[in-house]
Amino acid sequence: MSVLAPLVGLEVQQVWVWWSLRLVFDIGKSGGGTYVDVTHFEFVDPAGLAHQVNVEKDPVGAGRVLAVLHHRVTAATAVGWELNLTFDNGARLVCAPEAKYEAWAALIPGRASLFCPPGGDPTYPGD
């Protein structure tokens, strides 16, 4: 079972943009909230068009991710530290490990926080 399986079925309630992008699934109802943070990633919009998003360099480009607001996660995996989220409107978000920093993080109440280590971790078996 995927360590991100608890995200499946959750609705994106908010999308925050600052130095990274945060998808908020639970606004603090269950012990601190449920969210995923990403900075540089590929976003495939509901029409199937792929976009490279780098929130630090172009925060306006992150606006296209609003397409998942009020949509639910249908699949969530982190194989080889590559984060893959699929949504009920056909959109997808893919965040690969970065060489020098944590590419993504996830907070799921009742589970240990997940942080993709710099470069990924070859000893991590994935989902």
CB 5 within 8 A of CB 78: no
Distance from C-alpha of 103 to C-alpha of 83, rounded to nearest angstrom: 9
**Segment 3-39, tens digit of pLDDT:** 899 999 999 999 999 999 999 998 766 556 899 999 9
Strand order in the sheet with 34-38: 14-17, 21-26, 34-38, 104-107, 114-115
pTM above 0.75, yes or no: yes
- Helix, strand, coil percent content, the chain, rounded in steps of 5: 10, 40, 50
**Is 7 strand, coil or helix?**
helix
